[in-house]
Structure 1
C-alpha cells in the first residue's frame, strides 16, 4: 500500500498547479459546469431532485421501462426543472441563489412535460387532432426546452433549431432545391412536441435510457476512486518508459474518456495531474496540453462505453450497441497508437526519460489493493458481449460497482458518497438530455419536410458525385457544426443531414456514421474553438492557439483514418473476412507509424524536410486500401528506416 500512495502527485502533480482554480477552468471551457453554487434549503432541494431523478432511472432500468413517450416526458421533466434551478439566465447572474422567475420557469417546465405523461392516452386517441390546450402546452414546452438548452450549452443549438422551425413554416419561400409547401403552427407543434418524431423522438429516448445509465455508472465509479486508480495504473504501466508521463496521459485519459464521454471534463480531471507531470520531465507546455486534449477527446470513440453519440448511432442503425462498440475498436486503437507513437518520437527527440522507479507505484501492489475496481468494466464488457441490452449492462455494472467497492475501505461507497454519485449522475446528464431534446426538433424537421434527402442531394450535386469531395464537404460540415454544438447534437444533425449523402454514394451505414462521429468529436480539437485543447492550455499555462494547432497535428491520424475505413469498410467490420482484415490492420498500423515520423520529424535521429514529405506519402499509401499502394508505402518505410539508421550511426560516430 505504501508504494500505491507514494505517488509523485504532491511534488510533480496537481500541487504544482495549485494556483489553477479547477472549477473556474471548467466553467470557462465547459458550459455544463457553469451551474449555481447553492447552499441551505435550495441546495437540499437540488440534491433531492437530482437523487430522485437518478433513482427513477435506476429503478426503471432494473424493473421495466415505461412507454417510450412517458419515460421521455418524466426524464425531460427532471432535466428542465434542474436546469432552470441550477443554471442562471446569464453568465453574470448571481450563483448563490435561485431567483423567483427561475422557480416559475421550473414549475412551467414541469407542467409542460408532465402534461405529456398524464395526457398520454388522450393524446394517442386524438393523434393529429390536437386541442387548443395541447397546442398551448406544446408551444410552451418547445420554448422552455430551447431556453434550457441555451443555458446549459450555448445559444448556437437553440438558434439552429429555431431556424428549422421557421423553415417548416416558411418552406415555400426557400430556394427551389429546399422548397416545400409549408406547414401551419398547429401542425408544426403537433409534430414536434405531441408525437414521437420531434422532441420525444429517438435522441431523447436514448438519453432517457442508455445514456443516463452509463453517465450514472461513470459517476458511481468516480466515487469509488476509479479516476485516481486509472492514473496510478497508467503510471505503473508506462511511467518509467521513455517520455513516460505523456504515455501515462494517453493511457489514463483514454480509459477515463471511455467512461466519462466528455472531452473537456476529462482534460480538467486527469489533466490536473498529467500535464504538470509532463512539464516536470521536460515537455513544453503547449505539447503537454495538446497530448492531454487529444487523449481525452479520443475517449469518446474508445469502447466499451464511448460517448452518448454511439448509443444514438446504434438506434439510428437499428443494431445492437455492442456491434457499434466492436466496429469502433480498430479505429480507436489506431487513433491512440498514433498519439503514442508521436509522444514516443517527441520524447526521444528531446531526450526525455521516464520517471525514476522509486517514484512509481508497484503494479502488483496496486492491483492487489484496488484491482477490484476493474471488475465493473469487465462486467460491462461481458454483459454486452453476452447479448444484454446496454441498459441492463449499465444497471448490472452499477450494482457490481457498489458491491466491489466494499472490498477495500478506501473505495467503499458510504451513504454520503452514494448520494453524491446519484446527484452528480443527474447533473452530468443535463447537457446531453437538453441537446437530444432540441436536436429532436431538427430531426423532426427532416421527417416533416424531407429536408434530409434534399440536403443529401445538394451535397452530392456540389461534389459532382465524387466520393472524396463528398467526404471532404461532410468533414467540413461536421467541424463547423462542432464549433458551437456538443458532440451528441453535432452527430445527430450531421447524421440526419450529411450521412444520407454518403449512403447515396454506396458507403455502408456503419462507415458513414462512424465518419460523421469522428469529425464531430474532432471539433473539440480544431481551432478556432478547440475547447478541449484550450482547457489543456489553461492547465499547462500555454498559448491556446499553439496548443490547438499541436493537438491537430497529434490527432492527424484521427483526421485520416475515417477516410480510410470509408474506402475500406472492413476496418469497421463491414463484410468481415479474417485474412483481408488482418492485412488491412497491419498496413494501417505501419501507415500510422510512418505518419508519426512525418508529423514529429524524428526517427532514430532528426529527419530532413524532404524525408518527412516522402514519409507522409508512404503513410497515405499504406493507409489507402490496395496492394499497389501498400507496396509503395512499405518500400518507403523500409527506405526511410535504412536512411535514418545510417544517419544515426554516422552522427554517433562523429560525436565519438
Structure 2
C-alpha cells in the first residue's frame, strides 16, 4: 500500500534515526561483531529490538487510514513508543525470561498481548487485511480448535499460553522467518539501495535499452532484461513493475504492442525476478535455512527453471513481434551501446564480489551481501560519477532500513502462523490427511498444493505463503517420496504465481494501471506468457535433473530437451515461427513440447528426438514461408501484366 506519510522536522529525524539503526543492528549481529568484544546476546534479543524499530517506523510513516496522510497523531506516537518499550523490555530482560520460559507471568502476558496487537496493526497498515486475517485465523484456530472434530480438532490451549508462546518463543514471531528478514534480507536490501544510489539502476536500464532496443519488439526485450535484474534485487513483483514499467510499457506501446500485451510482458518479467538467482528475493534464503543447506545450493538448483521461464517469455515476445510486424526503437532514441557497456562495467564489479563471496568463498549470504555493498561504496569513492556526499550515504542507509520494514513485519506475522500451527500440530495432521485424500497419488497432491499456494498467496507476500504452506503441505509431499528441495521449490514457485493468477494478481493490476489496459484481459495474456512457470514445477518434482540433481548426462539431456520443449510450446501458443503456423501444427508442437519437458527424465533419447523435431518444424515452416512468398510475388506479377 503506497500510503507513506510525509513527515517534517523532528518526526522526520526520528524516523531517519530508527531507519539507520535497522541496517546497523543487522550488520553488527549478522557479522557477529559483538562477540569479538566479549559481548554475547541471544538471537531473540536482537530480533526483539529489530522488530521494535520496524513496528515503530510503521506507526510513524503509515497512517491508520490509507488516504489520511496528515501529520502525526497522538495515537501513532503512543503506539510507536509502546513498540519500542516492548522491544526494549525483551532485549533487557530476555536472559531472565528465557530461564523460566515455561512459567507464564503477568509481565510476559502484558508484553505479548501488546506486542502481538501492535504487530498485527502494523501489518494492516502495510498490506491491508489479507495478511492480518491469516494471522488472526491462526490464533483463532489454536484457541477454538478444541471445539472442532476430526483432523482439525486440537487440544485445549489457554489464551495466556497462546499469546506468550507466539510472541516470546523462538519458534514463532522470533523464529526463522524474522531472523532471515533481519539479517540476510536486510543485507541484500542494503546492497541494492547502495547500488541504486551510485547510479547502478540507470546503468542497468540504459544497457538493457542499448542492447535490446533495436531488435524487433525491442522494448519488450528491454523489459525482460531490466525487470529480471531489478526483480531479483527488489523482492517485490509489484514494486518491480512500478519501477521498470514506467519506462518499458510506454516504449512497448510506441512500437505497436497492445496495451494488454505490453502490461502482461512487464508483469511476467517482473514476477520472474522473484525466482531468479542469485538473490531470489527473501524466499531463497528462508529455503536454505529450512533445508539446512548452503544458499549456493538453492541458487544453483533454481537456475535452470528460472532460465527456462525467461527463455519462454523472450521467445514469445520475439514471435509476437514477428507475427505483428513490430520493429525496435529508432537508433537515435537509444543510448550508445559502447557508452552503456562502459557504464555497466562498474556495476558488474559489486555483483562479481557478491557471487565470488557466495559461491567461491562459501560465505553466509548476509556477509556476501555486505561485501558487495562495501565494494560498491569503495568503488564509488574512486569514480567521480558515482561519488556521493556523506549525507547521501546516510540517506541510503536509512532508505535501506525503511525498505526492510515491510518484509520484516510480514515475516513476523508469518511467525504467528508457524507458532500456532506448532502448538496445535495441524501441520502433521493435515499432511497425513492430504496423503489419504490424494490416494497416494503424487499428481493429485501436487494439484492440491498448487491450488492451495495460489489461493493462499492472493494478496499475501510470497515469503509468507511459502512459510505457511511448507509447514502445512511440505511434509505430505515428502511422505509421497518428493525430494525435499523439489517440494520447497514447488511451493515457492506457485506462491510466486499468485501475483499473476486471477482474480487477485497484484503485479498485473499495477502493470495494467500504467498501460491503461483491462486488468482481466491483461491477466489472460500474462498467463500465456508465463505458461512455462506453471508447467516447470511439476516437471522438476518428477525429474530432479531440472534442479541439477543427478549425473551430468541426465542434467545435460534434461536441459536440451527442456529448451526444445519450451521453444515448441512458445511458437504453438503464439502461432508464429518463421511465418504463421497452421492450427494443426500448433497442436502437434504443443503436445511434442510437453512430451519433451516431462518424458526426458525417463528416456534420454527424448532429448535428441526433441531437437530433431524442432529442426523439422523449422525446415517445414521455412518451406511454407518461401512458398507463400513465391506465390505472393507471382500473383502480384500476374495482376500487373493483366493491368
TM-score, normalization by structure 1: 0.92
- Structure-to-structure mapping, 1:178-217, within 5 angstroms: 178-217=152-191
1:614 equivalent in alignment to 2:588: yes
For residue 61 of structure 1, what is the aligned residue in structure 2?
A: 30
- Structure-to-structure mapping, 1:417-436, within 5 angstroms: 417-436=392-411
Q: CA deviation at 1:565?
A: 0.4
Tell me, in whole angstroms, the C-alpha distance in 1 between the residues paired with 2:546 and 2:66: 45
- Structure-to-structure mapping, 1:188-587, within 5 angstroms: 188-385=162-359, 386-574=361-549, 576-587=550-561
Q: C-alpha deviations, 1:472-501, integer Å up to 9, x for none?
A: 111111111111211111111111111222
Instruction: Extract structure 1 runs of 4+ deviating beyond 6 A.
Output: none
Question: Is this contact kept in 2: 1:621–1:630, CA < 8 A?
Answer: no
Question: Is this contact kept in 2: 1:249–1:292, CA < 8 A?
Answer: yes
Question: Is this contact kept in 2: 1:268–1:536, CA < 8 A?
Answer: yes
Which stretches in structure 2 are left out of the alignment for 5+ residues? 35-40, 634-643
Counterpart of 1:217 in 2: which secondary structure? helix
For residue 52 of structure 1, what is the aligned residue in structure 2?
A: 21
Tell me, in whole angstroms, the C-alpha distance in 1 between the residues paired with 2:297 and 2:572: 34
Counterpart of 2:553 in 1: which secondary structure? helix
Question: Is this contact kept in 1: 2:557–2:607, CA < 8 A?
Answer: no
Question: Is this contact kept in 2: 1:373–1:404, CA < 8 A?
Answer: no
CA 1:335–1:63: 2 relative to 1, 3 Å: same
Structure 2 residue aligned with 1:651, among 628, 631, 634?
628
For residue 79 of structure 2, what is the aligned residue in structure 1?
A: 105
Q: C-alpha deviations, 1:383-431, integer Å up to 9, x for none?
A: 0011111111111111111111233333223223212211221111111
Greater C-alpha radius of gyration:
2
Counterpart of 2:499 in 1: which secondary structure? coil
Question: Is this contact kept in 1: 2:236–2:274, CA < 8 A?
Answer: yes
Tell me, in whole angstroms, the C-alpha distance in 2 between the residues paired with 1:553 and 1:183: 47
Question: Is this contact kept in 2: 1:474–1:516, CA < 8 A?
Answer: yes
Q: CA deviation at 1:168?
A: 1.5
Counterpart of 1:484 in 2: which secondary structure? coil
Tell me, in whole angstroms, the C-alpha distance in 1 between the residues paired with 2:424 and 2:609: 49
Stretch moving more, 297-306 or 414-423? 414-423
For residue 37 of structure 1, what is the aligned residue in structure 2?
A: 6
Q: C-alpha deviations, 1:197-231, integer Å up to 9, x for none?
A: 11111111111111111112111111111111111
For residue 23 of structure 1, what is the aligned residue in structure 2?
A: none
Tell me, in whole angstroms, the C-alpha distance in 2 between the residues paired with 1:388 and 1:181: 43
Question: Is this contact kept in 1: 2:267–2:526, CA < 8 A?
Answer: yes
For residue 602 of structure 2, what is the aligned residue in structure 1?
A: 626
Tell me, in whole angstroms, the C-alpha distance in 2 between the residues paired with 1:155 and 1:600: 39
Question: Is this contact kept in 1: 2:142–2:421, CA < 8 A?
Answer: no
Counterpart of 2:427 in 1: which secondary structure? helix
Stretch moving more, 223-232 or 609-618? 609-618
Which stretches in structure 1 are left out of the alignment for 5+ residues? 1-30
**Aligned Cα root-mean-square deviation (Å):** 1.7
Tell me, in whole angstroms, the C-alpha distance in 2 between the residues paired with 1:466 and 1:633: 28
Question: Is this contact kept in 2: 1:241–1:354, CA < 8 A?
Answer: yes
Q: CA deviation at 1:74?
A: 1.0
1:114 equivalent in alignment to 2:88: yes
Q: C-alpha deviations, 1:5-61, integer Å up to 9, x for none?
A: xxxxxxxxxxxxxxxxxxxxxxxxxx2x32212223222221222122222223333
1:143 equivalent in alignment to 2:117: yes
Tell me, in whole angstroms, the C-alpha distance in 1 between the residues paired with 2:417 and 2:223: 37
Q: CA deviation at 1:466?
A: 0.8
Tell me, in whole angstroms, the C-alpha distance in 2 between the residues paired with 1:629 and 1:521: 30
Q: CA deviation at 1:186?
A: 2.3
Tell me, in whole angstroms, the C-alpha distance in 2 between the residues paired with 1:560 and 1:370: 34
For residue 80 of structure 1, what is the aligned residue in structure 2?
A: 55
Q: CA deviation at 1:274?
A: 1.0
Q: CA deviation at 1:630?
A: 5.2
Stretch moving more, 290-299 or 629-638? 629-638
Question: Is this contact kept in 2: 1:281–1:352, CA < 8 A?
Answer: yes
Tell me, in whole angstroms, the C-alpha distance in 2 between the residues paired with 1:529 and 1:611: 34
Q: CA deviation at 1:631?
A: 7.1
CA 1:337–1:296: 2 relative to 1, 3 Å: same
Question: Is this contact kept in 2: 1:373–1:405, CA < 8 A?
Answer: no
CA 1:236–1:506: 2 relative to 1, 3 Å: same
Query: What is the number of equivalent residue pairs in this alignment?
Result: 623
Tell me, in whole angstroms, the C-alpha distance in 2 between the residues paired with 1:369 and 1:465: 55
